[in-house]
């Protein structure tokens, strides 16, 4: 079977030397890609700007920088894959008119106009067929379950992986993660704090469960 994974942040240019980004390292998405490859999947990894790389040599890597580039890559590969895991931390907004030259520090205030980026999981979710399995992530700071459940429905996912910034050792910048899986049947499965490699195994095992239920 074929699997598509997105990982890492996106960098949205303000000018040639500055960008809007986030603290995602790509560790979780890369760990999932490695685990899928270890389980025999033919894996394509669409990866934002990060110094980290998967360890499995058979993984096809597609580097991107911006949310728009990640969206285009996902559209191209979405229907070619049986499993799609949206683990990237894609920017919600991007500068409307990035400067072609470095912006000089002159005024006391600098206003930056932003426009919304494409919701990659929601847009590609409209193309999804009944045999595909799609997985999303929700990193939340408040109203965690209600926000995650809404994303599950809006993005047409089979299940969503919830992270809370209120959990110590979870989310960005850690080698560990603490997740809750919420699926379309209303099942809620809580996991203990684990290494991201172990978390990836839990996620891939749940993917296998969903695949078996569709066959």
- Residues with a catalytic annotation lie at 22
Distance (Å, rounded) from C-alpha 178 to C-alpha 28? 11
Distance CA 146, CA 186 (A): 12
> How far is residue 11's CA from residue 74's CA, in Å, rounded to a whole number?
17
Residue 79: φ, ψ to 5° = -75, -10
Question: Which has the closest alpha carbon to 47: 31, 59, 64, 34?
Answer: 64
**Number of Cα atoms under 13 Å in the Cβ half of residue 49:** 14
Q: What is the DSSP letter of 80?
A: G
Structure tokens at 23: 């603290």
């Amino acid at each position: 079977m074929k699997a598509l994974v997105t990982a890492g942040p996106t960098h949205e240019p303000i000018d040639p030397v500055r960008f809007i980004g986030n603290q995602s390292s790509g560790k979780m998405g890369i760990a999932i890609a490695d685990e899928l490859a270890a389980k025999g999947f033919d894996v394509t990894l669409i990866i934002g700007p990060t110094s980290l790389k998967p360890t499995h040599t058979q993984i096809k890597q597609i580097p991107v920088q911006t949310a728009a580039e990640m969206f285009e890559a996902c559209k191209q590969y979405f229907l070619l894959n049986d499993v799609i895991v949206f683990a990237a931390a894609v920017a919600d907004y991007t500068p409307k008119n990035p400067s072609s030259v470095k912006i000089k520090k002159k005024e006391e205030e600098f206003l930056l106009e932003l426009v919304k980026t494409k919701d990659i999981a929601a847009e590609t979710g409209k193309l999804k067929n009944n045999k595909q399995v799609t997985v999303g992530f929700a990193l939340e700071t408040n109203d965690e379950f209600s926000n995650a459940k809404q994303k599950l429905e809006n993005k047409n996912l089979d299940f969503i992986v919830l992270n809370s910034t209120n959990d110590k050792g979870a989310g960005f910048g850690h080698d560990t993660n603490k997740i809750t899986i919420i699926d379309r049947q209303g099942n809620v499965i809580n996991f203990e704090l684990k290494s991201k490699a172990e978390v990836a195994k839990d996620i891939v095992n749940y993917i296998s469960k969903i695949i078996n239920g569709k066959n």
